[in-house]
Amino acid sequence: MTAANASGDSSPVDAVRNGSRPVQELESVTIRFAGDSGDGMQLAGTQFTNTSAILGNDISTLPDFPAEIRAPAGTLAGVSGFQVHFSSSEIFTPGDRLNTLVAMNPAALKTNLRDLEDGGILLVNTDGFGTSDLVKANYKVNPLEDGSLKNYRLVKVAINKLNKEAVKEVKLSPREVDRCKNFFALGLVCWLYERPLEPTLKWIREKFGKNPAVMEANTLTLKAGYNYGDTVELLPVHYRVPKAKIAPGTYRKITGNEAMALGLVAATQLAKKQMLYATYPITPASDILHQLADMKRYGVKTMQAEDEIAAVGMAIGASFGGAVGVTGTSGPGVCLKSEAIGLAVMTELPLVIIDVQRGGPSTGLPTKTEQADLLQAMFGRNGECPVPILAPQSPSDCFDMVYEAVRIATRFMTPVFVLSDGYLANGAEPWAIPKIDSLPKIEIKHITTPNSTDGQTHENGAGEPGKYLPYKRDELLARPWAVPGTPGLEHRIGGLEKQDITGNISYDSANHEHMIHTRAKKVENIALTIPDLTVSGPEEGDLLVIGWGGTHGSLYTAVQRAQRKGYKVAHAHLRYLNPMPKNTGEVLARYKKVLVPELNCGQLLMLLRSKYLVPAEGLNKVQGKPFLVSEIEAKIEQLLAAS
């Protein structure tokens, strides 16, 4: 069962006494830390998440920050938020509604209040609500005083003053003192939800070890926040979310971008291949570069190129040299890389292209999530130019899918797209660390001797023994990969159409058509090596909800809820979008209706309708935000009520 619908619900044991304080047990809780970009909300949220994960909760997070590094302080544009959902049961989304909102200033209150549930805890920093702060957030009257917050459990704390008091013994500039206040707030929330401080104290020691004053101040204010909650009885109760029942194993917290980096290193190391990650910084993909640049111990080479085009060119050059070339970017970068991706299709070289999708078109919404690059990945090149497409469905699934991308790219000699998105890239969840020997084997063989056989009747010497034929294919239509430095296999490749088998330039019309079909068939053959599409729920029924990518958690949770209400509805999620699993059409046909929720205007919907001729219907949202579970749920009920 999932807990998302139980967020904030109290357990039957309402309030048990723990020492002198009543403690209420909850199944799951969603908290958002919101403040100015400079307030350290991302850090406070991350530390709270780590602590909850180590404590044994299931977790899912949603960071939400502005594109500007420092929008003017205190303004609505500068608000940065970090949402964490933690639970004693398995969860798949960062939560629809907030049980607790921490608002460090009026702007944070104004932009986040709509997500707080009625009766939710609203913890505000009263020191952030001065006259000028209120003006910057367009408040005419102070919302803390006009009664407009009466539906919430308002908790007012003078965080700036209390923080200042807590660190007064430490010699710091006023600015440095102010920068500690996020840890006071974190300490307070840790008290509220019975989280131990030790993981954060350890982090403070490691992070600020070289700066004892800052280390001391953060330690003091974190503890002061916790103790303040305890001493003043901030709320009549505090809360506990017990450990989740999670499969045995060793876990860590992982974001999509971290998983992407680890998956690349694991796949290439186990394949005994050098990897080159060549890229150009772009939000929200840059963290993959940052991760990999710091993994030189593992033989990883990274290259920050002069532009997106150079980055993909370098990756292709590395693959030509027998390494695994990888490039990571977001939608605008894919536009620039398109011509080179066509070259990799034509020359049939391995290449992994990670597209961490963001809101578009053009520069769009750099820090917000969207799934609107599917058709770009599918068709965004000149000519008939098929490229395999994979899409991870959760942050940790980025590990598996990028690993799979390396396998497919090297097995089939083709570029492969991995479509992540801003939500997966920055969101975090627990990851069961895999055992190395449980990971799929990737065996890469480079041809070292000529592959022509006497008696073949191809022109241009294809039949002579002792020749290397770069486009002589195997049973799945993949071509051999001969790398420079191999004696006797000297050959030339390029973007011009090539004669079948020999690879010589050919402008012959029949040959061109044959090669177009051959390259397409090769990509289709990938379906012979991937798992079938599975459904969660009834094998046939009234409705199939099918999606792809980062919406998995919301779709899955919504379908689970509908199933509990007795609807005959199932969920399927496509991790392979080109080619799709062999049985996709058959699965679609087993349901009376098909719903395709997407964070775009209907791109998978278009592919499914055109390929399988199903009267599928879309549920589309393009607001730079993930689906709420309730949005999907409502649509499911609407569709089934109409039937």
DSSP 294-306: T-GGGT-EEEE-S
184 to 223, contacts with another protein by CB under 8 A? 199
Tell me which of 24, 126, 269, 620 binds another protein, using CB under 8 A: 269
Q: Is 246 in the site for another protein (CB under 8 A)?
A: yes
Q: Is 11 in the site for another protein (CB under 8 A)?
A: no
What minimum distance in Å lies between the beta carbon of 181 and another protein?
24
What minimum distance in Å lies between the beta carbon of 12 and another protein?
25
Query: What whole-number distance in Å separates Cα of residue 52 and Cα of residue 39?
Result: 21
Query: What whole-number distance in Å separates Cα of residue 150 and Cα of residue 113?
Result: 12
Residues shown for the chain: 643
Tell me which of 6, 23, 54, 213 binds another protein, using CB under 8 A: 54
What minimum distance in Å lies between the beta carbon of 244 and another protein?
9
Q: How far is CA 113 from the centre of its chain?
A: 25
Query: What whole-number distance in Å separates Cα of residue 184 and Cα of residue 191?
Result: 11
Query: What whole-number distance in Å separates Cα of residue 520 and Cα of residue 515?
Result: 8
Q: How many residues bind another protein (CB under 8 A)?
A: 73
Q: Which is nearer to another protein, 353 or 580 (CB)?
A: 353
Query: What whole-number distance in Å separates Cα of residue 272 and Cα of residue 447?
Result: 16
Query: What whole-number distance in Å separates Cα of residue 341 and Cα of residue 167?
Result: 55
Q: Is 321 in the site for another protein (CB under 8 A)?
A: yes
Q: Which is nearer to another protein, 310 or 546 (CB)?
A: 310
Query: What whole-number distance in Å separates Cα of residue 297 and Cα of residue 200?
Result: 27
What minimum distance in Å lies between the beta carbon of 484 and another protein?
4
Q: Is 465 in the site for another protein (CB under 8 A)?
A: no
Q: Is 289 in the site for another protein (CB under 8 A)?
A: no
23 to 52, contacts with another protein by CB under 8 A? 50
Tell me which of 17, 175, 297, 441 binds another protein, using CB under 8 A: 297
Taking alpha carbons only, the member of 601, 614, 546, 596 closest to residue 575 is 546
CB neighbour class for 584 (10 Å; exposed up to 12, middle 13-18, buried from 19): buried
- Part in contact with another protein (CB under 8 A); list of ranges 173-181, 335-343, 472-480, 630-638: 335-343
Tell me which of 136, 164, 253, 593 binds another protein, using CB under 8 A: 253
**Count of beta carbons in the 10 Å neighbourhood of residue 436:** 9
- Which tokens hold the place of 626? 């993930």
Q: Is 79 in the site for another protein (CB under 8 A)?
A: no
- Part in contact with another protein (CB under 8 A); list of ranges 29-37, 212-220, 240-248, 353-361: 240-248
Q: Is 434 in the site for another protein (CB under 8 A)?
A: yes
- Which tokens hold the place of 590? 């087993």
Tell me which of 23, 73, 305, 336 binds another protein, using CB under 8 A: 305
- Part in contact with another protein (CB under 8 A); list of ranges 3-11, 94-102, 321-329, 512-520: 321-329
Q: Which is nearer to another protein, 261 or 533 (CB)?
A: 261
What minimum distance in Å lies between the beta carbon of 196 and another protein?
13
Query: What whole-number distance in Å separates Cα of residue 239 and Cα of residue 417?
Result: 44
Tell me which of 343, 425, 526, 619 binds another protein, using CB under 8 A: 343
Question: Within 13 Å of residue 34, how many CA atoms lie on the same side as its CB?
Answer: 33
Query: What whole-number distance in Å separates Cα of residue 96 and Cα of residue 168?
Result: 40
